[in-house]
Amino acid sequence: MIYEAVKDRLFSLIKAPTHPPDPPAGSQGSIQTFRAAPNFLKIQLLVWGGGFAGAIVGELIFLGVELFVTRGGDGDRMGELSLAALLLLITVIGAIIKFFLIRIDYDMRYYVVTDRSLRIREGAILITESTYTFANIQNLKVTQGPLERLLGLSNLIVETAGGASSSSGDKHGKSASHEGNLRGITNAREVRDQMLVLLRKYRDAGLGDPEDRGKSVPHGASIGGPAGFSPAAIERLGEVLDEVRHLGRALG
């Protein structure tokens, strides 16, 4: 395939990483790395192919109307044909670029889960790596569209508490939520349930509300913070404590 033949050179050109992202915070034995399913790529290519075909058909219809209806088949057609050829060339080049971007995004998409956090890498030209600690996770939600249901895919949306007030007109100054999306996986419900187990262990380790310890997290999967401190505050306090310990050992 053409893509496979130029893949290494293309990755080198755009300086794209060819290996999975470094795992986020967590124990070494708990690291799990997985990818979007092949059917996720099929959906992306199906949408790409439909858009490309629609653009070509639309341009041909416009050209036919311009030549045979508006002008009645008379006049110099070289200008219209040259313009049509240019538009078709631009469309084909754009479609080829879009195809490569879809493939790069698929090949570079990784999800890494540990017993403390989650990391998502996605993007083609603009590559992003987002990390979500379990202390900040508020809700886990599984979504599935008709085409995804047909191909056995679903998405796991991880909702976390934001650290700042919402700037989108929230009069009460509530914290803005942030989402991470594990798109196009075949085992979204299993991953959600596994993350719920890890969240329970995280709370049972002493980071949850004493009254809630020992209670199971509802299967619908909303996870709240302790009453006295927010999960984010507890996470930061833990980091400060670690730094103080390191500083003490260094001074000693």
Q: What is the pLDDT of residues 230-241, one digit of tens each?
A: 555 566 666 656
Q: What is the pLDDT of residues 178-198, one digit of tens each?
A: 889 999 999 999 999 988 888
pLDDT band at 102 (very low <50, low <70, confident <90, very high): very high
List beta partners, residue 177.
161
Do 195 and 159 meet the contact criterion of CB atoms below 8 Å apart?
no
Q: What is the pLDDT of residues 2-31, one digit of tens each?
A: 788 888 888 888 788 888 999 998 888 889
pLDDT band at 57 (very low <50, low <70, confident <90, very high): very high
Query: What residues does each domain of the chain span?
Result: 2-36+109-167+174-247, 44-105
Do 105 and 122 meet the contact criterion of CB atoms below 8 Å apart?
yes
Percent of the chain with pLDDT over 90: 38
Residue 215 has pLDDT above 70, yes or no: no
Q: Which residues lie below 8 Å from residue 167, measured CB to CB, with a gap of 6+? A: 176
pLDDT band at 168 (very low <50, low <70, confident <90, very high): very low
Mean pLDDT of 51-58: 92
Neighbour-count burial of 245, counting CB atoms closer than 10 A to its CB (0-12 exposed, 13-18 middle, 19+ buried): exposed
pLDDT band at 206 (very low <50, low <70, confident <90, very high): low
Whole-number pLDDT of residue 173: 44
Place of tokens 């986020």: 24
* Coil/strand/helix, residue 213: coil
Higher per-residue pLDDT: 251 or 35: 35
Residue 131 has pLDDT above 50, yes or no: yes
